[in-house]
Amino acid sequence: MSAVTQPQAALELDVFACPLDGVNQIEASAGTGKTWNICALYVRLLLEKDLGADQILVVTFTKAATAELHERIRGRLAQLAHALETGDDGGDPFIVRLLDTT
């Protein structure tokens, strides 16, 4: 008789504790923050691993999702550039923590 494994409880992703080596897969239902987490990991890869945009692969399932990710990443990078240029983090907790850790 084989043991039945219980499904694991979903864990909230801590993008600052997530390792940046290898492959990361984010799988979750709609509206759970996948795009936010992908953007955050992308920015961390640029800053902490000194990777270029041409060295990071982000895969999603639809052209619409790809377009949304593209715009969100560009927006997040614009927010970060503004914070670095002006010192104004806009009260964004991600930007605040990112600037504290880099």
Residue at 10: amino acid letter:
A
Any domain includes 75: yes
CA of 49: how far to CAs of 9, 22, 26, 53, 81, in Å?
30, 12, 20, 11, 18
Kindly tell me if the per-residue pLDDT of 6 is higher than 90.
no
Domain that holds residue 65: 34-101
Any domain includes 68: yes
- If you average pLDDT over residues 4-22, what whole number do you get? 76
Any domain includes 41: yes
Any domain includes 90: yes
- Counted domains in the chain: 1
Any domain includes 17: no
Any domain includes 82: yes
Any domain includes 72: yes
Tokens standing for residue 89:
């983090």
Any domain includes 16: no
Tokens standing for residue 43:
């920015």
List pLDDT tens digits, range 57-88: 999 889 999 999 999 999 999 999 999 999 99
